Each structure stands twice: as C-alpha cells, then as structure tokens.
C-alpha cells in the first residue's frame, strides 16, 4: 500500500460496568469528546492511550481519522437503546473515515449494557464487519477486562495495561502503534493464545508477588517472536458468565509457542494473585492511622476502598468521616464526598460562612447515614482538577467543589463523582496532605501512585460500600462458580480459551 493510503481509525469507549452499583447510567453520564476533523488530539482532556497513539501518528506522518473519545465513571449498565446509540455513533465515525489500513481502539473490556454482557465483543464484531478481514485491529484494554472469545476472534492484537495502578497506558499505546505499523509494513502474522483462570479480585502490581509477575511479563515480551503478553485480572463486580482472569500471549506465527507461553504465564499468575488481607473497620482504621502518624511523623493514608467511585461506588459514604470527626483529633482530611446539594449550599453560603449541612449518606444503605454537621466553608471552586494516576497535567474536572472544615477535619465535597488519584485534589483547596496526620481517599488502588511517596503508612479500610470484596454482600447470579477467592479452596486451574489467528 502506498504511503498516501496509510491511515488509522482511532476511537475510545471506556465504561467499567458494576452490576451492583447504585448509580444509574445513561448517555448523559458519558463525557464524549467529538473530533471536528483530522486536526490534533485535545490537550485539555486526559485522553490517555487515545491521545498517545494519535500524537505518535502525528510524529510519524501517519494520517489519523479520529472517532469519538467517550468515558464514563464506573456505574450500572446502560440501557440497550443507549448502548446502540454509542455503537452506532462509533460506526458512523468509522464510515466517515473512509479507507483505513489499521484500527486502534481503547476500550475497557468489562462494559455491559442491559441485555448485552459483552459490549466490547459486539462492538469489535461490528467494526470488523465494516473494515473487512484484512485491516488489522489493535485494542488496548483495562487490566480489569473480562476477555471473551468474541473479542479474541475479532481483534488481531488484544493488549491490556500491565500495571495496577494503570500507569502504563501510554507505553502500551505505543506498543500497539508499533505492532500495527509492523503489521502493515512487514506483514506480522499474529497468533493469540488465551487462557482463563477462575480468579477475580484486586491485585495491585505495586506489591509483591504481583510486582515480580509483571516484570516477568516484560521479560517474556522481549523474547524473539513474542509480540505481546497481557494478564487481565477480570472485574469482580461484573456478574457475567465471562468474568474472570485471562492471560493472553501473542506470537508471530507460532501457535504452539503462544499456547505454551499463555499456560506458563497463567500458572505464574495463579500464584501471584494473592488476595489482600481484610481491611480494617472504620473505627480501627482511624485509630491505627493516628498511631502510625505519631510513630512515623508522616501522614497515614486510609484507602476507603469499598466506596471507590472508580469501581462504581457512590462516593458519598460517611463511615470514615464520622470516625474522623469523633476522634476529636486535628490535622485530618478526607476527599471526596460526592454530594452536589451540599456543594451547592456551600457555594451559595460562600467562603467564610458557617452553615448547618446534612452531608453525604444519600445514595443508599451502603453510603451509611447522612451526617448533620455545622461546617465552615473554607474554599469554593469550580475549576479544580486532578490527573488520572497523578500523571502529567491535571485534566480531570472535579466539577464544583468545596472545602469544608468540621472540627479538626477538612473534607472536600464535589459535584462530579470520581475517585481520588492525585494529591492535587487537596492542594487545589489549600490543603497540604503531606503535613496532615491522616488523609482519607475514596479509592481502592489507583491513589497509590500519587500518595505512596508522601505516606508513612497506607491502611485499607473495609466498609459496606459497593466496591466491596466481601462476597457475602454481593448477590451473584451469573458469575461462574466456584471462583477464587470468593469460594475458598477453589482450584486455580487454567483453562485454554483457544488459539486465535486471522492469518490464513
């Protein structure tokens, strides 16, 4: 193909669907950036892998036909009609792109809609039907993807980020760029082997033994003939038959090697996926955090991991805030309580005002009871931002925000539900988290990249939130059972999903 025909179609659709989330989802829940033309990627948005791929293409002189970039905070499934609208808009973008010689999609891998368990599989089948069998498709997934046979059949290159926190989206996007480029220029012959494991859960890659597993994946990927390897951990709040961990190995034309690599990596993953210990209950978490802060002279960071909006929780639970206030201690801070009404009241009252507020605890029983407090409004803003994984410029809009002081506790409330990634959530409101005694963040793992450097200790707290890892709180109906570690003693036996190749 002559250089003038070299053109990539790129698009992004990211929604981690939590079937137990109390937060409903519709089209307006998605932030959709629609490109005006070929131009350049938007610099005001955190476009992660989508922007990285696009900028690399610009550097290399590859034409890009951009489709939309759509993201949504994790929440309940969208309706069938809204899913159809999202799919059809991407297909319309693709049709407008005209002739393309490669496709790069940035998808989550654990998106469901009402009546559709495998959104990504359906989407890939539709994109494949449009571009035909010869155009290579690379997909970058979230590490928490539930990989399906359909996804494996339709894509040439299925990659997931290797890190949790997902700090390597940019690096993986560049790998996808190179694979597609080599495919088009020199005829790579990708063969994918995939192996399923009956394992789900949260396994941060910053901690051993998962840290060494990721280093091993990187070593394997450097071997001659190996194009890519990934380990998707699966999403335990997707109550679907394809939920679970999947290991993927892609070789250049060698199915036997792909299979043996995938099995070897799956066996290693099964040993490395060690469940985190049970978190402390809120009263113990606060007590322990204060003790550690006194001992280390540094802040203790408490992860309110079960009320993590980044996994589909409401983000307005009050269990920890109640304990912070009850402790009577000073130098405590918490972010963020999602409470648009409290934010609105604080903005109307203005900085410096004192007002009685009924705070948080509004979405449902897993949010706890609302707190009736008298708060001082310290700061109000409508332009505060953070960066995903605390990487680069802060481009995630927090919505309208307020810093409220209740006794010795400074709490950030906001109007756009999201987890805390970045210490700039605090500094944007005049709080230096490094000089606090206790810092509470509503996040499970992604906060670690930004907060581990300042923390004297990190303490996991277990509350009844919607991102719980306690299976007794979740009414699973369709998850394959037995599943480790939900069903204790489940054998972690790998099952091959098959070998997939589009090259004849």
Q: Which residues bind Zn ion (CB under 5 A)?
A: 142, 144
Burial class (CB in 10 A: 0-12, 13-18, 19+), 218: exposed
Compare residues 35 and 74 and give the one whose CB is closer to Zn ion. 74
For the CB of residue 106, give the shortest distance to Zn ion in the complex, in Å. 13
**Whole-number minimum distance, CB 74 to Zn ion, in Å?**
9
Secondary structure of 313-328 in HEC code, one letter for each residue:
CCCCCCHHHHHHHHHC
CB of 95 to Zn ion, least distance (A): 31
In the complex with Zn ion, the residue whose CB is nearer, 156 or 168, is 168
Parallel, antiparallel or unpaired: strands 7-14 and 332-338:
unpaired
- What would the DSSP string read from start to end of 56-80? HHHHHT-EEEEEEEEE--SBSPBPH
Cβ closer to Zn ion: 108 or 128? 108
Distance of closest approach, residue 165 Cβ to Zn ion, in angstroms? 9
CA distance 157 to 190: 7
The residue among 73, 153, 164, 76 whose CA lies nearest residue 120 is 153
Q: How far is the CB of 425 from Zn ion (least distance, A)?
A: 19
Q: Which residue do the tokens 């063969």 mark?
A: 191
Tokens at 73, concatenated: 């905070």
Minimum CB distance to Zn ion smaller for 144 or for 381: 144
Q: How far is the CB of 446 from Zn ion (least distance, A)?
A: 8
The nearest distance, CB 166 to Zn ion, in angstroms, is 6
CA dihedral 105, 110, 115, 116 (to 10 degrees): 40
Report d(CA 259, CA 251) in Å as an integer. Answer: 9
Task: Tell me the closest approach of the beta carbon of residue 389 to Zn ion, in angstroms.
Answer: 11
Asked whether the beta carbons of 450 and 301 are under 8 A apart, the reply is: no
CB closer to Zn ion, 142 vs 252: 142
Task: Report the DSSP beta bridge partners of residue 338.
Answer: 414
Q: Can you tell me the distance from the alpha carbon of 205 to that of 215, in angstroms, rounded to the nearest whole number?
A: 10
Residues forming beta bridges with residue 140, ordered by sequence position: 106, 159
Give the number of other CB atoms < 10 A from CB of residue 72: 22
Query: Of 120 and 142, which has the nearer Cβ to Zn ion?
Result: 142
How far apart are the C-alpha atoms of 157 and 155, rounded to whole Å?
6
Closer CB to Zn ion, 313 or 411, in the complex: 313
Minimum distance from CB of 358 to Zn ion (Å)? 33
- Of 9 and 164, the one with the shorter C-beta distance to Zn ion is 164
Instruction: Give the contacts of 28 (CB within 8 A, at least 6 positions apart).
Output: none
Least separation in angstroms between CB 405 and Zn ion: 34
Give 142 or 323: the residue with its C-beta nearer to Zn ion.
142
Question: Closest CB to Zn ion belongs to which residue?
Answer: 144
Whole-number minimum distance, CB 467 to Zn ion, in Å?
Answer: 12
Strands 190-197 and 102-107: unpaired
For the four alpha carbons of 466, 468, 472 and 478, in that order, the dihedral sign comes to: positive
Q: How far apart are CA 387 and CA 384, in angstroms?
A: 11
How far apart (Å, rounded) are the C-alpha atoms in residues 343 and 339? 6
Instruction: Report the C-alpha gap between 61 and 66 in whole angstroms.
Output: 15
d(CA 428, CA 430): 6
- Kindly tell me which of 169 and 177 has the beta carbon lying closer to Zn ion: 169
For Zn ion, the closer of residues 142 and 242 by Cβ is 142
């Amino acid at each position: 193909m002559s250089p003038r025909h070299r053109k990539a179609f790129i698009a992004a659709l990211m929604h981690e669907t939590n079937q137990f989330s109390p937060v409903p989802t519709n089209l307006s829940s998605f932030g959709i950036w629609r490109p005006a033309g070929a131009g350049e990627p938007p610099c005001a948005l955190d476009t992660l892998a989508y922007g990285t791929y696009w900028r690399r293409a610009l550097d290399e002189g590859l034409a890009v036909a951009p489709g939309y970039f759509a993201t949504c905070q994790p929440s309940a499934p969208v309706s069938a009609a809204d899913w159809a609208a999202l799919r059809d808009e991407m297909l319309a973008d693709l049709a407008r792109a005209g002739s393309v010689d490669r496709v790069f999609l940035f998808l989550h891998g654990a998106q469901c809609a009402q009546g559709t368990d495998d959104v990504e599989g359906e989407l890939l089948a539709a994109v494949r039907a449009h571009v035909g069998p010869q155009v290579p498709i690379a997909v970058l997934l979230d590490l928490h993807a539930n990989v399906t046979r359909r996804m494996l059949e339709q894509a040439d290159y299925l990659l997931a980020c290797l890190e949790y926190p997902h700090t390597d989206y940019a690096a993986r996007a560049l790998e996808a760029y190179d694979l597609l480029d080599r495919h088009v220029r020199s005829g790579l012959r990708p063969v994918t082997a995939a192996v399923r494991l009956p394992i789900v859960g949260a396994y941060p890659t910053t901690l051993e033994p998962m840290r060494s597993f990721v280093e091993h994946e990187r070593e394997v990927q450097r071997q001659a003939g190996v194009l890519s390897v990934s380990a998707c951990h699966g999403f335990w709040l997707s109550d679907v038959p394809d939920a679970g961990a999947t290991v993927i190995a892609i070789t250049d034309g060698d199915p036997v090697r792909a299979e043996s690599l995938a099995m070897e990596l799956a066996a290693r993953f099964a040993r490395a996926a060690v469940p985190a210990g049970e978190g402390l209950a809120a009263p113990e978490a606060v007590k322990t955090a204060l003790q550690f802060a006194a001992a280390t002279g540094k802040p203790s960071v408490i992860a309110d991991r079960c009320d993590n909006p980044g996994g589909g929780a409401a983000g307005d639970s009050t269990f920890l805030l109640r304990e912070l206030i009850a402790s009577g201690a000073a130098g405590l801070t918490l972010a963020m309580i999602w409470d648009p009404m409290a934010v609105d009241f604080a903005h109307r009252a203005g900085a410096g005002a004192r007002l009685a507020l009924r705070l948080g605890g509004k979405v449902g029983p897993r949010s706890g009871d609302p707190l009736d407090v008298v708060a001082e409004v310290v700061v109000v803003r409508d332009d505060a931002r953070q960066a995903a994984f605390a990487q680069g410029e802060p481009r995630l809009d927090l919505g309208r925000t307020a810093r409220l002081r209740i006794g010795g506790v400074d709490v950030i409330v906001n109007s756009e539900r999201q987890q805390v990634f970045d210490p700039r959530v605090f500094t944007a409101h005049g709080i230096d988290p490094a000089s606090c005694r206790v810092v509470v963040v509503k996040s499970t793992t992604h906060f670690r990249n930004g907060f581990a450097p300042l923390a004297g200790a990190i303490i996991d707290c277990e509350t009844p939130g919607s991102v719980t890892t306690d299976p007794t709180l979740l009414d699973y109906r369709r998850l394959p059972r037995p599943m480790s570690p939900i069903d204790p003693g489940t054998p972690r036996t790998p099952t091959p999903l098959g070998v997939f190749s589009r090259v004849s």
